[in-house]
Structures are given as structure tokens and as C-alpha cells.
Amino acid sequence: MIKNISEIPSDTQLEADVCIIGSGAAGLAVALSLAGRGLKIILLESGTEVFSKKTQKLYAGELADEKLHSPPDKYRHRRFGGSTAIWGGRCMPFDPIDFKQRDYIPQSGWPITHADLAPYFPVANRLLEAGEYAYDADTVFGINKPMFQGFASDILMTNNMERFSCPTNVGSRYRQRLSLADDIQVILGANCTGIRLNTTADHVDHLDVASLDGKKMAVKAKQIVVATGGIEVARLLLASNDICKTGIGNQQDLVGRYYQCHIAGNLGKLTILGPTSNVRHGYEVSAEGIYCRRRLSLTEETQQKIKAGNMVARLHFPKIVDPSHKVGVLSGLFLAKNFISYEYGKRLKDGQASLSTYLKHFSNIILDPIDTFRFLYHWLTKRTLAKRKFPSVILSNKSNQFTLEIHSEQYPNPDSRITLIDECDALGMPRVKVDWRYLPADIESVRRSLDVFVEEFRKSGVGNFEFDASKLEEDLTRFGAYGGHHIGTARMGKDPETSVVDANCKVHHVDNLYIASSAVFPTSGQANPTLTIAALSLRLADHLAQKMQAPCQSKHVVI
């Protein structure tokens, strides 16, 4: 059942077996998985099914450095379905090495392994509409469709691939399942404004709930799942400071710290020899109609040998801002950047452009009309009008020259953090300040990996890769933190001294408070987080059902 808080009388106290806060990828995975198991579930969602500026403003906050991170009300949406309303849909699981303790990455190591999540990844993959859980391109598409014809390396892999969700907004996609589930009550417009512990601070007594038009109520549930996203989890824990003065789970001053995104940038020059048909740089379509794409990555052993974090690289095109590429489409994108949403235009806004740059871009479009037209037609039919969207701009390869788009793990850093400030939002909740930082180690890790790339391409004989080592830091930090990935603010671990939640995502020392979010990831890996968030959330749902001895088996509401 889905209702709005306005339908519930003020000062009501609702009761449930499980209360989930947030209806993004995490919250909905928990709710859908728990449905049909004989439990009473309440899901509180701040927003409604349509975007509202007033609700979104609850997310606003401060930045320590505007160059390094986007404002906290960007790159996430406060509405039913959460940030999946605007996500890009790129899916890939965390790799086995991401869970391991690596002595070259301080504070690395999860209390669970890849195998613990293995049963949940396939369902998570389906939930996000990314098709079958199969991420080896050689298996899915066969070895006859290699990234580079004739390329062979034991340590630089090209078979690793990513899949794309529609991108699916989990809210609209699963709305009907939720509204028909008689054991779930979704309450829209309901903001959790406080997690209230009992006086011994080991149990959540109830949740405070408020609406923007002043309604207040409470929810008393046996188990609580906070699924408000990686920044908001920290905010809610820190702001709930009536019993624990430093916030819930924060005895060791860990909540909000170790904030990670990813290190990303386009750099270097990869030249492949021979005809352009030697390279498959675009998307392949799997049997289920899923767009898939190969990426470059290093084997686990190599990462360990060179002591580098996990990283992937995708083939990319020349820098858009510089009109000397002479590609009409790129110039068109450059000129359109002001019409593209903040989240997707950000990485196109590269430095200041002079009038003459603009003119050169115009001339590129005029001189390259056929390609521009073909591109626009493709964009219109495969993206604007399509339900399963072509994931990104792919140009025809005319030169066999590419830059690499790097997406790399960040080293956990306690000084990179989310804190509360004095200013409050319309509900009286203190706003956040985002102080995202990176470490020299993050850059050096990429450098070591790229050195291997250089060497492997040289040895392979199929081409040549080079990058400007002196500009590496600049190239990787030009746009600051990679947007939308909010990781590490309530890290998971065995030891309560060094972590916030345990292996079951339960806040240490509080017997009924759980967190479903990338906030619990101790490290960031190479992967975009959402698939792993969903898998972890499904695992949490199973744990809760078992803990509560749920009367029925799941009626597979999730698939």
C-alpha cells in the first residue's frame, strides 16, 4: 500500500516489525525482498513520486571546497525512488579483491567476502534491470569480439565488462508491487527527523517523523533500516544526539569520516595500429537487450604486486573543449552543455572558453554535417525516445586514437568527511558540510597502474599508450570527486573500535538499528556502487527475516 503522510492523523504512533527509511535502490531492495514473508513493514519516504524543489532543498548544505565536490543537493534526489531517478545505470559488482584486507591500503578489508554477496548479485542485477548476472565479456559475447584485435596480456584484462540498467527508476518500476503488497505500508512525504534510543542507548525506541507542512508522528518498529543514502545516513546518525551526545554509533568518532567517492578523469593517449575495425570501442547488446561494454582492468595479482588500488579504464574520445578534434558531434555537445542537467553537464564544463573557441566549435558542426546528423538521429531514437537508453555518447572511431576514462578506488581517509553545521533545514535538522579530500596515494596508485598499461601495450605490439605523468593529478582531479557515489561514512567492520556497523550492517551496540547503503562500504573499489548496494540490501533483508523468524518463505517478490 502506498499513501501520503497527509492521510495519517497527526501525532499517531505507527507500529511495525520493520521500518525502512528511504525508498532508493537500497530501501526498495529491502522492502521488496521482505514482502510476502509475513512481517509488517513500514517504509518512510521523504519525497513523493514527483520531484519537488522544497523537498530537495532539505538536502542542501555546505562545501569545504567547491572545486572538489558538488553541492550536497546535487547528484542525489530526495523523492520516491531516490537517486535512481537520475542515475546513469552503470552496473558492475565489486570484485573479490575489494573485500580483502590489503596491507598497502590502510583501513581496507570488509568483514564479509565476495562469496557472502554472491547469492544476491544475480537478483540485484535483475532488480536493476541489467539482465543476467554475467560480467565476463568473453563468455557473454565470445572471444570473437575482442576490444583490440590481437591484444594479449596476462595482467591487463579486456574481458571485464559493465552492463547498463535502463537506467531504471526503482520507484516507478516497482510501484505497483509495493502498492499491492498488503504487508508493506509506504508513506510518502514522511521525513525521519530523529532516531530515538532508549536511555541505555542499546535499542531504538522509536523514530520521529515529520512532514514539510508540519505534521508530526512516530514509528515504533522492532527493527529499523536506515536507507537514506551515503551522505544522509551520516547526517541522521549524527543529528540523533539526544542520548548519545556525539550521535548514534559515533563513540569512536567514525560516523561521517572516511568519506569516499571515486577518482576519475580522462587522460593519456592510446593509439591502436591497423584499421579502425581492430577496435571495438562501443557497446555490445546482450540477448536480454542490455548495453554492455568492455573495460581495461588489472588482475588481482598485479594490483597486489604493484600495490595499487582497484581501477578500470574505458576507451574515450578526445577532450570536448578543445575544438581541434574537429568532430562536429563533440562540438555540438560542448555547445549544448548549458542545456544538459547539472549532473550530466558537469564534466563537459572544462575550463573557460573564449569566443574564438565557440566559433571554432560552430565551424566543426558545419563542416561535419553528416556525422552530426547521424549522431542526432541515433540520439533521438536510441536515447531520448527509448525506454532502455543508449548509455553514453559513442562516436564513430575515425582515428584509432583514444583517451582513457579512468575510474579508480580512493584510499580511505579519516579527514575526508561529512559533518553537521549549525544551520538547519525546514524541518529543524542540522545541514551537512561536505569536506571531500583525496590523498597523494590515490594519484600514485593510478600512476602505478597506468605504468603497467604503458608497458603492456608496448609489449602487445597492437598499439601504444602514453600519459603525461606531470599532469596526472590535475587530470584526475579536474572535476573533483566523481559525483553520486557516497561511500564509507558508516563503515562496516568486525571491531567496534574501528567501524560503525557489523557484518550484518547492524550498528554496533544498538540491537535493532541497521544501515542499508554504500555508507557501510569500508572501501570504494573500482565499481559504481549501486549494484553492490542492492545486493547488500537483499542480504540484509534475509538476515532480518531470519532474525525475526519470519513465518513465510519469500514469495519471490523481488524477481
Ligand X SMILES: Cc1cc2nc3c(=O)[nH]c(=O)nc-3n(C[C@H](O)[C@H](O)[C@H](O)COP(=O)(O)OP(=O)(O)OC[C@H]3O[C@@H](n4cnc5c(N)ncnc54)[C@H](O)[C@@H]3O)c2cc1C
Q: Under the criterion CB under 8 A, does residue 182 sit at the interface with other proteins?
A: yes
Rounded distance, CA 257 to CA 435, Å? Answer: 10
Rounded distance, CA 299 to CA 157, Å? Answer: 7
Rounded distance, CA 454 to CA 463, Å? Answer: 10
Q: Under the criterion CB under 8 A, does residue 387 sit at the interface with other proteins?
A: yes
79 or 325: CB nearest ligand X: 79
CB of 199 to ligand X, least distance (A): 24
CB of 190 to ligand X, least distance (A): 6
Q: Which residue is nearest to ligand X (CB)?
A: 24
26 or 557: CB nearest ligand X: 26
Total number of residues shown for the chain: 559
CB 128 within 8 A of CB 530: yes
Contact mark string toward other proteins, 273..312, x via CB under 8 A: ------------xxxxx-----------------------
CB of 388 to other proteins, least distance (A): 4
Rg over alpha carbons for the chain, rounded to the nearest Å, is 24
- Identify which of 383, 351, 428 has the alpha carbon closest to the alpha carbon of residue 167: 383
- Identify which of 39, 88, 82 has the alpha carbon closest to the alpha carbon of residue 173: 82
- Identify which of 317, 396, 322, 318 has the alpha carbon closest to the alpha carbon of residue 360: 322
CB of 109 to other proteins, least distance (A): 37
CB of 75 to ligand X, least distance (A): 4
CB of 541 to other proteins, least distance (A): 19
Rounded distance, CA 313 to CA 430, Å? Answer: 39
1 or 336: CB nearest other proteins: 1
Q: Which does 180 bind (CB under 5 to 8 A by kind): ligand X, other proteins, none?
A: other proteins
Q: Which does 175 bind (CB under 5 to 8 A by kind): other proteins, ligand X, none?
A: other proteins
Q: Which does 22 bind (CB under 5 to 8 A by kind): other proteins, ligand X, none?
A: ligand X
Residues 6 or more apart whose Cβ sits within 8 Å of residue 158: 137, 146, 147, 148, 151, 294, 295, 296
Q: Name the helix (H) or strand (E) containing 207.
A: strand 204-210
Binding to other proteins (CB under 8 A) within 108-167 occurs at: 129, 166
The residues that touch ligand X, with contacts defined as CB under 6 A, are 21-27, 44-47, 75-76, 78-79, 82-84, 86-90, 191-192, 227-229, 232, 236, 343, 484-485, 517-518, 528-530, 533
Query: From the CB of residue 456, how many other CB atoms can be counted at a distance below 10 Å?
Result: 19
The set of cell numbers assigned to 193 is 527527523
Phi-psi region of 473 (alpha: psi -120 to 50; beta: other; left: phi over 0): alpha
Q: Which does 82 bind (CB under 5 to 8 A by kind): ligand X, other proteins, none?
A: ligand X
Tell me the β-bridge partners of 221: 16
In angstroms, how far is CA 350 from the centroid of its own chain? 23
CB of 239 to other proteins, least distance (A): 35
Q: Under the criterion CB under 8 A, does residue 173 sit at the interface with other proteins?
A: yes
53 or 387: CB nearest other proteins: 387
CB of 377 to ligand X, least distance (A): 25
Interface residue with other proteins, options 118, 152, 180, 201 (CB under 8 A): 180
Rounded to the nearest 10°, the torsion over CA 322, 324, 328, 334 is 10
Q: List the Cα angle 311/313/315 in 5-degree steps.
A: 175
Interface residue with other proteins, options 13, 113, 139, 172 (CB under 8 A): 172
290 or 500: CB nearest other proteins: 290
CB 252 within 8 A of CB 107: no
Applying CB under 8 A, the residues found at the interface with other proteins are 129, 166, 168, 172-177, 180, 182, 285-289, 385-388, 555, 559
